[in-house]
Homo-oligomer: A and B are copies of this chain.
Amino acid sequence: MYMEIIKYPAKADWKNILKRPLFDYSEMEAKVAPILADVKANGDIAVKKYIKEFDKIDLQDLKVTAAEIAEAELAISPILKKAIATAKFNIEKFHKAQVVTGKPIDTTPGVTCWQKSIAIEKVGLYVPGGTAPLFSTVLMLGIPAKIAGCDEIVLCSPPGKDGKLHPAILYTANLIGIKSIYKIGGIQAIGAMAYGTESVPQVYKLFGPGNQFVTAAKQMVSRQGVAIDMPAGPSEVAVIADNTSQPDFIASDLLAQAEHGKDSQVILFTIDEGIIQPVMDELQKQLDNLPRKEIAAVALSSSKCILANNIDELMAMSNEYAPEHLIISVDNFNSYSEKIVNAGSVFLGHLSPESAGDYASG
Contacts and interface: CB of A to CB of B under 8 A. Distances in A.
Interface of A: 22, 24-26, 86, 89-90, 93-94, 97-98, 100, 102-103, 105, 107-108, 111, 113, 115-116, 118, 121, 219, 222-225, 231, 340-342, 346
Given A223-B219, A231-B223, A341 B107 contact: no
Nearest to A230: B227
Contacts of A231: 222-223
* Highest count of chain B CB atoms <10 Å: which of A22, A105, A342: A105
A90 B108 contact: yes
30 contacts: A22-B224, A22-B225, A24-B223, A25-B223, A26-B223, A86-B108, A89-B107, A90-B107, A90-B108, A90-B111, A93-B105, A93-B107, A94-B105, A94-B107, A94-B113, A97-B102, A97-B103, A97-B105, A98-B102, A98-B115, A100-B100, A116-B346, A118-B340, A118-B341, A118-B342, A121-B341, A121-B342, A219-B223, A222-B231, A223-B231
A343 B225 CA distance: 15
Q: List the 8 closest A-B pairs by CB distance, nearest first.
A: A90-B107, A97-B105, A97-B103, A94-B113, A93-B107, A94-B105, A25-B223, A93-B105
Task: Describe A's contact surface by its main secondary structure.
Answer: loop
A319 to B, nearest CB: 8
A202 to B, nearest CB: 11
Q: Which of A25, A223, A342 has the most CB of B within 10 A?
A: A223
Nearest to A96: B105
Contacts of A105: 93-94, 97
A315 to B, nearest CB: 13
Nearest to A22: B225
Contacts of A94: 105, 107, 113
Nearest to A110: B349
A305 B262 CA distance: 56
Contacts of A89: 107
A257 to B, nearest CB: 19
A141 to B, nearest CB: 17
Nearest to A121: B341
Nearest to A216: B223
A105 B225 CA distance: 36
A94 B340 CA distance: 27
A268 B340 CA distance: 49
Contacts of A26: 223
Contacts of A341: 118, 121
A231 B222 CA distance: 9
A253 B103 CA distance: 26
Contacts of A97: 102-103, 105
Nearest to A104: B97
A360 B108 CA distance: 17
A241 to B, nearest CB: 20
A237 B353 CA distance: 55
Contacts of A219: 223
A34 to B, nearest CB: 13
A342 B119 CA distance: 9
Contacts of A100: 100
A89 B116 CA distance: 21
Contacts of A103: 97
